[in-house]
Structure 1
Amino acid sequence: MIAKRCFLPFAPLALAAVLCGCTQKNTGDEPAASNSPIGLERFLLFPNPIAQSSGGYETDTTAYADAYYRAIDPTYAANGQDTIDQWKARNNFGSVTGTEYRAVFRDVKDLGYGRNMNGRLNADGSVAFFVENYNVGYSSSVNVDVAIARDETWHVGTNAIEWSSTLCIPGVDPADCNPNVKFAKYYNFSSADGTLQLAVDLDGKGKKAMPGPCITCHGGRGDPLTPADAVSGKPRFPLVENSLSRKRGDTEARLQGMNVDSFEFSKQAGWTRGDQEATLKIFNQWILCTYPLVGAPAGAEDSCRVAAGPNEWQGTAAEMIKSWYGGPGMPITTFQDTYVPSSWNANPSLYTNVVAPFCRTCHSVRGTKNQDDIDFMTLAKFQGYADRIKSHVFDRGIMPLALIVYNDFWSSSAPDTLANFINPFLTAPETATTASGTALRPGRPVADPGPNRMVRSATSAILSAENSLFAGTYNWSVVSGSATIINPDSMIATFSPSPAGSYTVRLTVGNGSATDSKDVTITVDDTFPDPSRLRFAHVKNVLQNLLHSGPTPTCIGCHKNVSTPAPTNTPPVWYTNFDRDGSGGAADATDDSWFLKGLTGRVNLTEIQASPLLRKPSGNHHSGGTLLNVADTTSGGGLSSYSILYNWILAGMPAGGVAANAGPNTLNTVTFNGVFPGPFTANIPLDGGQSVGVGTLSYLWTVASEPLGTSATFPGNSFSDNAAATSLTIQNVGTYVVQLQVSDGPSTDIAQRTIVVDETPLAANVVVAGLSGGNVS
């Protein structure tokens, strides 16, 4: 069973190899600061980079970059190539209309380059910047002077960003794609010949595929590609379903404000900071124009902004840009960064010393109207991410996301400040500090046995330590309960419990003399599905049909295909069945495969427990609240639904299958009817129509158990029924268990429903001859 998992399309077992195993010289070519811990070194990659079973990450592949530019760049789509000169022409650089300015500086807090920046505002409101990057050496102040001179000896590449509208592509973009909506697009061109580059090395850590190195810190999404389409034979770039543009290639990324205090300037006349303050303010005003506007304009600077959509980022960073120049109206000419959001007044030093220098640049342009905790605009939002901060910063070492910022962070007092702040908000025994109160550093072994979950009794279940960090040895042990662990000293072990109940299993990992242990609670249930038989159909059943807690009891109450413009609270990913590939007609097997591929973006194989598919519905930063109450360990409860998702991921996210859905367990109070002397019967409606499968399904209803001495039947006085919807005829109160078997031919699944029947009390006022009247019940 374990060996087979290696060959499933999305098997997390392949991560063992992934986790173990440039033409542009730049600042990253120099050694990292000696006091910076070595974490996973995934700079400029998404926290969920879409790990592939074949190795590597999908968001860091040539196919990803190719699909991106085919979606947004008409020149590339037509010719398979583009150049900086063609890009300039499309954005009207050098034309007599519009406005252009140039500024030159060195970005000491980002990538260290000398930057020759050219910006343009066009008559249609579109904004474009191209930046020639120059690098002489690490921390070299000469970088800015060679940028002024445009010395090609040190030119290492040209970045370009535009905020513009793009034509929709028939047959690729959906029919309701809006070609008039402007969104941000990101490019990188070669310093040698000016051609478009599909990958770029911005930090000396190797080339990474576009647009990832840009959009990771510009608020963009890194969703998975589609399967190859039938026409081109190539995958399409993902579609953010609730975007205003409904255009493939719109990653919802944003332009960032320019923090002038993080720039170094030349002493040459005409290029000092004082000489360029006015130009940089104009650039920041243009960037502000690209931000959605909530409510009425607060000043003339808002007149160019477009009204915010009901589901997109709400322009949160606009307040910050305005504050740099005196607030609404932007009355002052000189950049001054004293900005602290009002909701941080309870701890302004944490914001000033940690969030502003090391978190704000990327996080200020993240979040949506539906869920904006990630923008860190309030102290409460920030502390609500305490567990993820510990994981990303102190365990994994993947944030701060850029190399220079990472080194600056670990060279400051910020790690100790941050670690001691989040400690009270972590669930014991979790801690971000050592016994002496200093911050934990990434690189130490960290045990990760996975989340608390449910498995089926009398079956084997996988124990995976794949997401443990910096570990070379593994040991699994049973702390409570009677169970057997096969291969207890392996990364992947097998858990074989005896009776139903609760078990505690401990994982201990080591690296040299350092060790770490963590316990996981495994609930063993007699009715939970066999984990080895879980398929995509079972996941769809959880997402589409099962009733959960919360104000919207099904996932598709929100995650559903809607007409545009999408109403408020429409998520960016939809779980309903619809024509995903745009081929026309009802959803079919191809659309099901596109659904599955899209759902892989909600699974983080590098840290499964952090997958949005698991975290959000269990109540973590989820606009829909808690749908899967993992504290509910009853059969069919919240932990059961959560564990169907988790065990399916562990199994490699296999496709297909069928999922029988007999309906929820119910308590039915009935009235028995009939003609004396009987029998007196009642009917319980049954409906298996929400069972999940592709194609024609067959159904078989039977009675699994019933009260002693009764004989429940289906229509026609039969003991079984082949209809999707039927009824059960009963003659007595008590507990009945019906079983539904569903098949599509190759696959079969069984589900049971428990029905507890009570009788409606009968009350009457009768008069019996010779006796006085009275109430009888």
Structure 2
Amino acid sequence: MFLVFPNPQVPPDTPDLAHAQTLSQDYALAYYEAIDPLNEKDTLDKWKAANGFGSGTGIEVSAVFGDIRDLGYGRKMTARRDPARKTIAFLVENYLVSPGGVYGYTPESLDAALASDTRWRIQYNAIEYSLGPNAQPGDVPFAKFYNFDPVSGQRRLTVDIDGRGQKAMPAVCFSCHGGRADALERNASGKLFFGHPLFASANGDAQARLQPFEVGNFDFSKVTGHTRADYEAALKLMNRFVLCSYPVPAGGPNNCPDEPVFNHPAKIEEWQGGAANLIRNAYGGDNLPNDTYVDTYIPSSWANGNPNVYRSVIAKSCRACHMLRDNGRDGDSSGFPPNPPHVDFDNYQQFVDKYAKLTRHYLFDLGNMPLAKIVYDNFWQSDGPQLLAQFLEPLTGSIARDASGKPVQPGRPVADPGPLTRTVLPGWVPLRAVQTFNDAYSWSVIQAPAGVAPQSVPIQDADKPQARFNATVGIYTVQLVASRAGVQSAPQTVTVVVKDSIPGLLDQNTIGLANIKAIMADNCISCHSASQLAPNSPEPLPPVDFADDVGLYERIRSRINFTDIATSRLLLKPADLVAHGGGLIFDASLPPGDQSRANYDNFINWIANGAPQ
């Protein structure tokens, strides 16, 4: 499914999208309650009035264009910046004409937008950059996302963006606007609510951003008054509005020189506004001296590393969403800025070191990237897969190819037993496969300790994605084969080392939240605690507090991906397998059975067993 976060927050016992929290109406209700607690913007007319549309104040500008690359709509966009209200707002009418019922961009959608043909208007989307409810001195504006019914104007909880079913707000927007799709938090009275990272100031601030207008990816009418030349100035002004919403990193140029009320310095913890580089490059540098948008942007590290992969793959299929992601804290353990963010893919060496393996996993195995359907289709219809595979294979190993040597588009059965090579104590050992495109599973023990016949080892639910086997002391090799429509995958194995005892290793069948909390107290809370830091401390706040007992289970569970546990932040971050401000905490490269990886194995065992409280 497209426009769904790789971690959609599913429960451990039913890890399918039908039960994903981020796709539920409860998620949308909690979000709107956070950003609009009094329902003052629950209709299109109320939202427009609150943001001053048609009021004659501020600056208001419009453009009509076709969105070829991303969502395929004809778009009638109106933007306004209002210093008196301290708001920047964008309202877009989306039109989609699909001849033959095939989703994708067509010039007819642009024509419908130009004519405001209500037969094809499928939604109103709105983004508002403003202060949060009950803002306090020192708070900064943040981006808020709304969707309104194209007929009634009523605010909607879900939206069908790409003809592939309803998805809940706001995660469907955050997927390409840099926002965090964390699980809902729980307060002291037990109510779930939409929270915020520690370094933000208001509930609902998920650190989402405004997208630059990449004009070269738009289609325009040839009708006088609606050509690209006619709209170039309006789109440049919209890009100025976008730039005004970005934080300014230390020593960086002023993002909003004509309206200083919008300028705010980037906190050391937050996203450092790297997408501003794209806008400045497209218009000739600081102050945007050029009238016409020309995209020649390539970061210097990629220009020196692999410019072809950047231009043909990153810029076309990854950059639009990734450039708005990450935060300033996710440098390496040697410090924070000037260490840049990582997952924005702006740094060649950081991509190679931290994200090559995940990129291969998401694009070539799971098929959940690129995240938008049109971008995904265009990627697989281009030479991008071949270029990327050639680049990744020396770093990550071979990638499945067809008889002609081309990378195989995802859809084949893949046996992926996750990060379950580990150490356990005697007893039942949980197994958990990544489900991907598979419809059948087969677990088997193919190697057991001396004197134990592998076929005699008891396995429960051996034909299901979640299974378990009963182990005595020794070393086991467990094999997984997956199938789809009768076609089998290549087998994959995990090694499980069973010991009577090992210092620090807990029973995989009884480990609970209290044990995980104790491990975190020794290894994580020195950084992951708001209370540990003095007011105005120069030490940056992390996104999440693991010291506060209220809602702790929800915050930890939010960092577990039960659709693919190997990609859980609770495992990746402390093992420094992706960028982590705290550096290496648990060394996952040590062999199973090594005492020094006991806490990492405790985390794996707890997650594999469903992360019980």
Alpha-carbon distance in structure 2 between the residues aligned to 1:290 and 1:268? 32
Q: 2:67 aligns with which of 88, 107, 117?
A: 107
Alpha-carbon distance in structure 1 between the residues aligned to 2:545 and 2:255? 38
Q: 2:519 aligns with which of 523, 527, 542?
A: 542
8 Å contact from structure 1 (residues 239, 248) kept in 2:
yes
Q: SS in structure 2 opposite 1:64?
A: helix
8 Å contact from structure 2 (residues 275, 324) kept in 1:
yes
Relative to structure 1, the CA distance from residue 195 to residue 495 in structure 2 (aligned partners, 3 Å threshold; closer, same or farther) is same
8 Å contact from structure 1 (residues 226, 598) kept in 2:
yes
Q: 2:360 aligns with which of 390, 398, 404?
A: 390
Relative to structure 1, the CA distance from residue 361 to residue 456 in structure 2 (aligned partners, 3 Å threshold; closer, same or farther) is closer
Q: CA deviation at 1:495?
A: 2.8
Could you tell me which runs of 5 or more consecutive residues in structure 1 were left unpaired when the two chains were aligned: 1-41, 170-176, 546-553, 579-586, 656-777
Alpha-carbon distance in structure 1 between the residues aligned to 2:215 and 2:424? 59
Q: Which amino acid aligns with 1:126?
A: T
Relative to structure 1, the CA distance from residue 344 to residue 302 in structure 2 (aligned partners, 3 Å threshold; closer, same or farther) is farther
Relative to structure 1, the CA distance from residue 445 to residue 558 in structure 2 (aligned partners, 3 Å threshold; closer, same or farther) is same
Alpha-carbon distance in structure 1 between the residues aligned to 2:425 and 2:191? 44
Q: Tell whether 2:31 aligns with 1:62.
A: no
Q: CA deviation at 1:306?
A: 1.4
Q: 2:479 aligns with which of 506, 515, 535?
A: 506
Larger RCO of the pair (alpha carbons < 8 Å, separation 6+): 2
Instruction: State the number of aligned residues.
Output: 575
Matches within 5 A, 1:198-213: 198-213=157-172
Q: Tell whether 2:306 aligns with 1:332.
A: no
Alpha-carbon distance in structure 2 between the residues aligned to 1:300 and 1:400? 29
Alpha-carbon distance in structure 2 between the residues aligned to 1:142 and 1:402? 21
1:613-651 Cα deviation digits (max 9, x unpaired): 011111212221111113445878342111211211222
Q: CA deviation at 1:493?
A: 3.6
Relative to structure 1, the CA distance from residue 286 to residue 466 in structure 2 (aligned partners, 3 Å threshold; closer, same or farther) is closer
Match of residue 337 from structure 2: none
Q: Tell whether 2:403 aligns with 1:446.
A: no
Q: SS in structure 1 opposite 2:542?
A: coil
Match of residue 80 from structure 2: 120
1:563-587 Cα deviation digits (max 9, x unpaired): 55574442101111x3xxxxxxxx5
Alpha-carbon distance in structure 1 between the residues aligned to 2:610 and 2:514? 14
Alpha-carbon distance in structure 2 between the residues aligned to 1:63 and 1:300? 36
1:500-540 Cα deviation digits (max 9, x unpaired): x4433222223323322112121222223221111111111
8 Å contact from structure 2 (residues 75, 92) kept in 1:
yes
Q: Tell whether 2:524 aligns with 1:555.
A: yes
Match of residue 149 from structure 1: 115
1:709-741 Cα deviation digits (max 9, x unpaired): xxxxxxxxxxxxxxxxxxxxxxxxxxxxxxxxx
Matches within 5 A, 1:243-258: 243=200, 246-258=201-213
Matches within 5 A, 1:337-736: 337-345=295-303, 346-371=305-330, 372-383=341-352, 384-426=354-396, 428=397, 431=399, 433=401, 437-467=405-435, 469-479=437-447, 481-482=449-450, 485-487=457-459, 489-491=462-464, 492-499=466-473, 501-511=474-484, 512-527=486-501, 528-545=505-522, 554-562=523-531, 567-576=538-547, 578=548, 591=550, 594-620=551-577, 621-632=579-590, 637-655=595-613
Relative to structure 1, the CA distance from residue 569 to residue 431 in structure 2 (aligned partners, 3 Å threshold; closer, same or farther) is farther
Alpha-carbon distance in structure 2 between the residues aligned to 1:624 and 1:300? 30
1:406-432 Cα deviation digits (max 9, x unpaired): 111111111111111111111x5x535
Relative to structure 1, the CA distance from residue 157 to residue 238 in structure 2 (aligned partners, 3 Å threshold; closer, same or farther) is same
Alpha-carbon distance in structure 2 between the residues aligned to 1:60 and 1:494? 29
Q: 2:142 aligns with which of 176, 179, 183?
A: 183
Relative to structure 1, the CA distance from residue 202 to residue 634 in structure 2 (aligned partners, 3 Å threshold; closer, same or farther) is closer
Alpha-carbon distance in structure 2 between the residues aligned to 1:330 and 1:608? 44
8 Å contact from structure 1 (residues 453, 640) kept in 2:
no
Relative to structure 1, the CA distance from residue 119 to residue 607 in structure 2 (aligned partners, 3 Å threshold; closer, same or farther) is same
1:193-217 Cα deviation digits (max 9, x unpaired): 1010110001011000000111111
8 Å contact from structure 2 (residues 180, 207) kept in 1:
yes
Q: Tell whether 2:105 aligns with 1:139.
A: yes
Q: CA deviation at 1:476?
A: 1.6
Relative to structure 1, the CA distance from residue 610 to residue 638 in structure 2 (aligned partners, 3 Å threshold; closer, same or farther) is farther
Q: CA deviation at 1:330?
A: 1.3
Alpha-carbon distance in structure 1 between the residues aligned to 2:314 and 2:279? 16
Relative to structure 1, the CA distance from residue 390 to residue 302 in structure 2 (aligned partners, 3 Å threshold; closer, same or farther) is farther
Q: Which amino acid aligns with 1:166?
A: G
Alpha-carbon distance in structure 2 between the residues aligned to 1:89 and 1:51? 38
Q: CA deviation at 1:266?
A: 1.2
Q: Tell whether 2:46 aligns with 1:86.
A: yes
8 Å contact from structure 1 (residues 422, 432) kept in 2:
no
Match of residue 335 from structure 2: none
Q: Which amino acid aligns with 2:459?
A: N
Q: SS in structure 1 opposite 2:321?
A: helix
Q: SS in structure 2 opposite 1:385?
A: helix
1:17-48 Cα deviation digits (max 9, x unpaired): xxxxxxxxxxxxxxxxxxxxxxxxx2111110
Q: SS in structure 2 opposite 1:359?
A: helix
Relative to structure 1, the CA distance from residue 387 to residue 145 in structure 2 (aligned partners, 3 Å threshold; closer, same or farther) is same
1:75-106 Cα deviation digits (max 9, x unpaired): 42x7xx71111001111111232110111111
1:354-394 Cα deviation digits (max 9, x unpaired): 11010000000111111221010021122231211121111
8 Å contact from structure 2 (residues 497, 593) kept in 1:
no
Q: SS in structure 2 opposite 1:438?
A: coil
1:154-178 Cα deviation digits (max 9, x unpaired): 2111000011102238xxxxxxx76
Q: Which amino acid aligns with 2:365?
A: D
Alpha-carbon distance in structure 2 between the residues aligned to 1:502 and 1:242? 45
Q: Tell whether 2:182 aligns with 1:223.
A: yes
Alpha-carbon distance in structure 1 between the residues aligned to 2:130 and 2:52? 12
Match of residue 220 from structure 2: 265
Q: Which amino acid aligns with 1:286?
A: F
Q: SS in structure 1 opposite 2:202?
A: coil
Relative to structure 1, the CA distance from residue 503 to residue 259 in structure 2 (aligned partners, 3 Å threshold; closer, same or farther) is same
Alpha-carbon distance in structure 1 between the residues aligned to 2:213 and 2:276? 12
CA RMSD of aligned residues (A): 2.3
Alpha-carbon distance in structure 2 between the residues aligned to 1:493 and 1:295? 51
Q: CA deviation at 1:542?
A: 1.2
Deviates more, 1:510-519 or 1:149-158: 510-519
Percentage of matched positions with identical amino acids: 38
Alpha-carbon distance in structure 2 between the residues aligned to 1:342 and 1:254? 24
Q: SS in structure 2 opposite 1:116?
A: strand
Matches within 5 A, 1:759-774: none
Alpha-carbon distance in structure 1 between the residues aligned to 2:457 and 2:495? 14
